[in-house]
Structure 1
Amino acid sequence: MSYLLLVLQSPLILATIAIVIFLFARRGRTAETVVPGRSAFMRSVAVTGSVAVLIVHLAVQFFPVLDLAQRYLLPNLNVDFTPEPWAYAWWRYPLPLIVAVVVLTIVTVRVTREPVVVEAPVLSMKPRGWTSFASRKELASAASVLGALVSVSLFAGVHSITDRFGLHTLVSGPRPIGVTDASWDEYGASTFYGWAYSVPVMILAVVLAAQVWWVLRTISVRPFASPESVTAETRERTRSASIVLRLFIATVLLPLGGALLLIGQTAMYPSVISVDSADYFVPLGYASFAGPIAVAGAVLQGAALLMLVAGIQGKRSRVSSPELVRS
């Protein structure tokens, strides 16, 4: 099981898979005409946003590899790519979310400031809301991954303990009966997805969700240009909503998968602690489920990677009618 996890989370393997998928996806593709205006902008959001999130995630995964290479190949080079594996690194989980927040901030500004040109009023039989152009399946997926991330973050945070710097980055196994040594919590603890990681992740995920809501609402409530453009504009708004939701889902899956990986791996490798001249085997209460939890985390991160690559190589919009240009 540990070997499988090593393979699944290897940054080199993740990068290789991403490149191979991208190259195969590009084979046999012909150049397509990109629609100017909103369609071209949202296409650039899909590509640029996916590339940015993917690169940042792989960079975070590669930091330990670079640090290991530097320590063994260039020991005299005084550069720390990452702290010790058990040390607190605030960027370990929230960096992809920060990138997505920046991308959606740009989208929000662009969509909000985009001028509305109404050539002829369009009467709507029912009011449009923020879900009018969004896929029900994608909305359900977005809500599910957000709920899962918040639930895992709260669960892990509640069960975490502080390290010597006062940060909730550790988890401690149950104290054996009869052991009163105050150092147990320090030496019997393991690195964990505690409040120090989960709070920034939850805050950024909620901010990202609020941005997605605002973009979907803005896209939905804008008036149509004319009755003749309703079909084309509906198609473009549906495509735009899908781009935003898919970027959100993929981005949230990355810290969710990373959290599950750490939670699972922490329980898979219990500590042996010597207290009062006795050795204690320190398993966590969920150790029997640690393997599936870690594998689930690796699979979720793999799914996020595939979604980001799909966003990079997704089909461009074709000019099928003049109405598309006016949308």
Structure 2
Amino acid sequence: MFLSLLITIKNLIPPPEIALTLGVVLFALSWIRPRRIISLPRAGARTVLLAWVGIAGSLLVVVIATIVSAIAVASYAHPTSGFDGWWRRPVPLFIATVVVAIAALALRRMPLPAPGERAIAPRRPWHSFVSRMLLWISGIAAALLAVTALWQGAIGVSAPKGAQFLGNVPVPTDLPIFMTFNSGYGFVAGTGWPNYLPTLVVLAVAAVVFVVALRTDANRPLFARSWASSVRAERELTARVLTFILLGGLITTLGAVWMHAGSIGQGMIGLTDVRLNEGLDGSDPSAEPVLIGSGYYAIARPMNLIGHFLQAAGVAFLLRLAVDTARALVASRRVAADTSNREATSTGVRR
């Protein structure tokens, strides 16, 4: 009875390849540290914008990542072209980039001080208000994604006519989407530039949008009567939210890419050890099979498992960002209300 209940529960749980499955688990574990990972300015149009970006933007990336990963799982049993996932793997990073771009455009449309009311401010580099730790983490994740995409794209070759295919047999094509197996014994689909060029393009676009968005906000004109500390605080918070959104999409995409590369690299075949000098052939029970794996079989399994974790970690991080942004919005409104009440009390008529 209990075993059948466990089996029923297991069948109801979506497979771990779907981004939200393990993401919810990691999201629940993240509450071991309940402190918010984000804060918001006390009030104003920027606060409202950052709240929308942190909540709606994060959830949008999570929903899209979950949908495309579910499509990938559902497509396993269907005929494959060998490059079906060219758009699915980079789409979380693409959506995160779109969110950052929309936020940057919204920031540009906010009212600016009149020329006579502007403070003189030096030209700042784009990374002036970003945490160095966040930049290092984002840079490492981007570098790993770029190196993986370049490597997987470079090993892609075209399969000759009559070639033997391993794994999912793709529709016949001359595109360089195959990885050679055991020096041409067989071919595995899933590599080459048709699979990974879009990922590199999205990564490059994300880097450009990120730099332009932060540089534009860092050099936004200041009001002459504004406090430098308050301006710096709100721009640091803005840079933090935008970096978090892009980092979540980047980690989720890196996880999807590593899952795919690790999955196709785990292929293995068994060849019967033929020892003619002993009079043995392949039908002899004593002939031991020789197992042959792909060129990177030794790292394929760990790569696939780490990919599962990274995809789930990206989704969990974005879920936590959405919840903590909502918590920060409530806290900022409470502080603004308390400040307003104190001001009203101090300026009211004394009896």
Fold match by TM threshold 0.5: yes
State the partner residue of 1:157.
153
1:89–1:255 distance in 2 versus 1, CA, 3 Å: same
State the partner residue of 1:249.
247
Q: Is the 8 A contact 1:193 1:262 kept in 2?
A: no
1:89-100 equivalences under 5 Å are: 89-100=85-96
State the partner residue of 2:295.
285
State the partner residue of 1:295.
305
1:47 matched to 2:55: yes
State the partner residue of 1:197.
195
State the partner residue of 2:205.
207
RMSD: 3.6
Q: Secondary structure at the match of 1:117?
A: coil
Work out which of the two has the higher radius of gyration on C-alpha atoms and give 1 or 2. 2
What is the CA–CA distance in structure 2 between the aligned matches of 1:91 and 1:236, rounded to whole Å? 35
1:37 matched to 2:34: no
Counterpart residue identity of residue 122, structure 1? A
Structure 2: stretches of 5+ with no match in the other structure: 1-13, 35-39, 160-171, 273-281, 283-288, 338-351
1:117 matched to 2:113: yes
Q: Render the CA deviation track for 1:126-183: whole Å, top value 9, x for unaligned.
A: 542211111111111121111111111001111122363233432121227xxxxxxx
Q: Is the 8 A contact 2:27 2:316 kept in 1?
A: no
1:9 matched to 2:17: yes
What is the CA–CA distance in structure 1 between the aligned matches of 2:101 and 2:19, rounded to whole Å? 29
Q: Render the CA deviation track for 1:171-204: whole Å, top value 9, x for unaligned.
A: 121227xxxxxxx4xxx12233432221001101
Counterpart residue identity of residue 198, structure 1? Y
Q: Is the 8 A contact 1:25 1:313 kept in 2?
A: no
Q: Secondary structure at the match of 1:268?
A: coil
What is the CA–CA distance in structure 2 between the aligned matches of 1:123 and 1:156, rounded to whole Å? 49
State the partner residue of 1:260.
258
Q: Structure 1 residue 113: deviation in Å?
A: 2.7
Q: Render the CA deviation track for 1:265-324: whole Å, top value 9, x for unaligned.
A: 2222324589xxx998541122122222222212221221121112211242415579xx
Counterpart residue identity of residue 310, structure 1? R
Q: Is the 8 A contact 2:182 2:294 kept in 1?
A: yes
Q: Is the 8 A contact 2:177 2:194 kept in 1?
A: yes
Q: Secondary structure at the match of 2:43?
A: coil
What is the CA–CA distance in structure 2 between the aligned matches of 1:18 and 1:158, rounded to whole Å? 34
What is the CA–CA distance in structure 2 between the aligned matches of 1:39 and 1:194, rounded to whole Å? 44
1:19–1:62 distance in 2 versus 1, CA, 3 Å: farther
1:313 matched to 2:323: yes
1:239 matched to 2:237: yes
State the partner residue of 1:78.
none
Q: Is the 8 A contact 1:170 1:193 kept in 2?
A: yes
1:227–1:287 distance in 2 versus 1, CA, 3 Å: same
Q: Structure 1 residue 43: deviation in Å?
A: 1.6
What is the CA–CA distance in structure 2 between the aligned matches of 1:96 and 1:64, rounded to whole Å? 14
1:108–1:168 distance in 2 versus 1, CA, 3 Å: farther
Identity score, percent: 21
1:262–1:291 distance in 2 versus 1, CA, 3 Å: same
What is the CA–CA distance in structure 2 between the aligned matches of 1:150 and 1:199, rounded to whole Å? 10
Counterpart residue identity of residue 295, structure 1? L
Q: Structure 1 residue 15: deviation in Å?
A: 5.8
Q: Structure 1 residue 223: deviation in Å?
A: 2.0
1:229–1:273 distance in 2 versus 1, CA, 3 Å: farther
1:54–1:18 distance in 2 versus 1, CA, 3 Å: farther
State the partner residue of 1:75.
none
Q: Secondary structure at the match of 2:179?
A: strand
Question: TM (normalized to structure 1)?
Answer: 0.75
What is the CA–CA distance in structure 1 between the aligned matches of 2:108 and 2:124, rounded to whole Å? 17
1:135–1:226 distance in 2 versus 1, CA, 3 Å: same
Structure 1: stretches of 5+ with no match in the other structure: 1-5, 27-31, 72-81, 177-183, 323-327
What is the CA–CA distance in structure 2 between the aligned matches of 1:11 and 1:105, rounded to whole Å? 24
Q: Structure 1 residue 111: deviation in Å?
A: 2.1
